[in-house]
Structure 1
């Protein structure tokens, strides 16, 4: 399975054949089953995508040889054809093939070579080559259901910048200019951030809808692709690292493949990752089954009991050295048991003594949490639902609710996130009556996936605060970051480059 941690590798048109061979072996690894496809690829069309999808399913590492300009039938310039193939997400490596395919196969010796079904009745020089080393030559034109798969990959890309609209009135009221905040984001590189909270792995299963069952009113789908992402507190840590900070993440996991995936992915994002294994639970795995851009079903594999005192003590012990150097601590609570109150209180006490700013979010969707239990935070970012749960208040207006929560939690600032209505910002900064409230509208109305938007806002706004921004600038930065995040499917870390480009527009 090609998960979200696998980045398609582009070959190089300036490498020799020997260089290409060495490059493929290095990137594929010794244990990968290599699959090879070659062709002109003048104009990419659904037929190509079906064959390539079939080939990708046959092994672990898909290599595509794009024939050079001397090949019969090559019309489009070779580098343009190569770029087209490299843009296909399932292709792991593509290069310009400058020698007869059978000669190259004898050197690479891929496990499987795939050609279109129409070639089965023709003379195939590849057959002798694969026979010589024990490989296989397969013929298939793929399945019709694969024709849209590469188009579905667009969901995993960022939002078109034209869909993000800056809050001009908010910026005018608080004298904010987006371009002027770019140096602020650049300063994130000097921050040391510690993240503590529940680890989640998100799996997105892209499906083709086959129709309605004839036996009962049930939609029937067939899965065509699975993508894994790190979520929960893990993606908070990944956002902080993507924005340039030095990040240490502490959490709890099961002893399973999901934990291995999360650890490897986070380390790949540049996050120093400390996971304590709790054998009484699996790593929390949330599956989303999607078709035609819509989520049909969610399935969660988890345990919600609190971790033991011993595990809490081990987490605290591992954190000690990092807390002493931290510029910011982020509590990311999904109420799955990683943050018992005793552990929270111990960390808060240490950070208070050290003078380390803290921020927190406590999510309550299918579970019940209480963000007010995180005392003394610089910033808390509940949804309206979470704020009302914490205050047991279903009737007060938003401003009253936000101020009650701020006082109960002894927080510096409160963001109440309102979904499509944006975010309410509650401040006590720089006004005569000690209270000021403002609202930022939602900046991206072309929403593909709300997962991770709140995490992205919390992380970027908190980093802006500790880097020297005021609360309004921090809210602006956080809202722009969240707008970038909702424009794509799946939890992928936001980069400083993306945020700076959007602020500068």
Structure 2
């Protein structure tokens, strides 16, 4: 699972915001005007924009270098203080320009209801000297990064000049770039590997209808052609759609939850995708995990983050819906989703005719080697070929039902061949487990699993325990009666 990921360093470059929240309760209308009177109870400030992306990535476990522009004002001081409380965020790349006003958004809330938002921003053309300092800070951050995020809130930091320098430096260093876009035309992001527009932003950039999956896919294709990379469309309660530049499409369904506040949800998505990619996982896995992260964060009030523990628990909960006894084709589909959730998949096999303590010990030991355990059972015909015509004592369905009822078993498949080699080749588990009565070179499928980076594990077995010995004892007992 995600707990086992080793996250890398993410460079985040973009528009910095300070999100303030004034909260309280409303019980009356002002006699001066028809407006509610708020009895203020609390006033908080949290990082927003690119700073919120940084906080999300650091909360998941990444090391972060943040580059952006602040003014010489109190909001900048509050932003630095909030970011400085997180040791995994390097804020040495913040550029100070006294002519700039640190952008602040203040939301006034009664309970969870937003009454009004007050924006403080005075966006002006950034001076050439300031742009050069931003470029230098960005280039320094990219040189030590595994992934780069451009967080564009259309506040002036990500100019054409700054973007061009980012894309060129990233290309020279072999670092992928993800852009959370705000421009009305995505051609400005040529050089990025992935952009993450929401559905509204995609519609503006392509001027195309977006009423269903097919129209979303066509618009994503057009967007991809504008800048030459992959497109991940965030679609609120409908989840996300990933359009890869080679035409492959993945739809990720959102976990059902009550949506309270979508503030900063896009920040969580782009931060999670970049974090998972920094852990050397594939893009589809990053998208599935980011979908879960987004479904968590929208249930929180205001600009918020998702912890590694929260995300891991949600991913585990989502994987519980898989059935125990499935076909080989069904198993492949389920395993693909497990892998996209970051799970380490373990495989073991046997006849498991009469389940005894030796079997249970093997299953428990196998389950400890990863997150999901597949048990492959010999079919009745396969058991007869291996054990003789009087076996199995229980048919394959009965054996599969018993095995699937064990707490540590997540999936049961039945194979008809004499060995599980074809099943292993179809399912491609991360780990194959057998008892220590085998040697590693004797484990069927072991070489195949190791060929793509998997492993073979031999676990201790309970001596003197076998179905054959139980049958002999039963036969002896019946003879003595």
Q: TM-score, normalised by structure 1?
A: 0.59
1:478 and 1:435 map into 2 onto residues whose CA distance is 21
Query: Which residue pairs with 1:198 in the alignment?
Result: 15
1:254 and 1:369 map into 2 onto residues whose CA distance is 27
Query: Which residue pairs with 1:143 in the alignment?
Result: none
Query: Which residue pairs with 1:223 in the alignment?
Result: 40
Q: Secondary structure at the match of 1:255?
A: coil
Query: Which residue pairs with 1:294 in the alignment?
Result: 113
Q: Is the 8 A contact 1:193 1:248 kept in 2?
A: yes
1:461 and 1:484 map into 2 onto residues whose CA distance is 15
* C-alpha RMSD of matched pairs (Å): 2.0
Cα deviation for residue 373 of structure 1 reads 1.6
Cα deviation for residue 376 of structure 1 reads 2.5
Asked if 1:463 is matched to 2:275, the reply is yes
Query: Which residue pairs with 1:256 in the alignment?
Result: 73
Cα deviation for residue 286 of structure 1 reads 0.3
Q: Secondary structure at the match of 1:415?
A: strand
Which is worse superposed, 309-318 or 392-401? 392-401
Which is worse superposed, 369-378 or 454-463? 369-378
Cα deviation for residue 370 of structure 1 reads 4.1
Query: Which residue pairs with 1:480 in the alignment?
Result: 292
CA shift digits 1:237-274 (9 cap, x unpaired): 11111111121101101111111111121121121002
Q: Is the 8 A contact 1:192 1:326 kept in 2?
A: yes
Query: Which residue pairs with 1:405 in the alignment?
Result: 223
CA shift digits 1:40-89 (9 cap, x unpaired): xxxxxxxxxxxxxxxxxxxxxxxxxxxxxxxxxxxxxxxxxxxxxxxxxx
1:372 and 1:243 map into 2 onto residues whose CA distance is 31
Q: Secondary structure at the match of 1:187?
A: coil
Cα deviation for residue 421 of structure 1 reads 2.1
2:301 and 2:186 map into 1 onto residues whose CA distance is 27
Aligned counterparts, 1:321-360, within 5 A:
321-360=140-179
Q: Is the 8 A contact 2:2 2:308 kept in 1?
A: no
2:259 and 2:186 map into 1 onto residues whose CA distance is 26
Cα deviation for residue 483 of structure 1 reads 1.6
**Radius of gyration: which is bigger?**
2
Q: Is the 8 A contact 1:195 1:236 kept in 2?
A: yes
Aligned counterparts, 1:85-104, within 5 A:
none
Q: Is the 8 A contact 1:207 1:221 kept in 2?
A: yes
Q: Which runs of 5+ in 1 are unaligned?
A: 1-179, 429-433
2:172 and 2:163 map into 1 onto residues whose CA distance is 14
- Counterpart pick for 1:390 among 189, 197, 205: 205
Residue 296 and residue 370 in structure 1: after superposition, are their counterparts in 2 closer, same or farther (change >3 A)? farther
- Counterpart pick for 2:305 among 484, 493, 500: 493
Asked if 1:437 is matched to 2:252, the reply is no
Q: Is the 8 A contact 2:254 2:292 kept in 1?
A: no
Q: Which runs of 5+ in 2 are unaligned?
A: 318-481
Cα deviation for residue 493 of structure 1 reads 3.2
1:225 and 1:328 map into 2 onto residues whose CA distance is 37
- Counterpart pick for 2:125 among 306, 310, 320: 306
Q: Is the 8 A contact 2:30 2:36 kept in 1?
A: yes
1:381 and 1:318 map into 2 onto residues whose CA distance is 24
Q: TM-score, normalised by structure 2?
A: 0.61
Equivalent pairs counted in the alignment come to: 312
Q: Is the 8 A contact 1:182 1:503 kept in 2?
A: no
Q: Is the 8 A contact 1:204 1:287 kept in 2?
A: yes
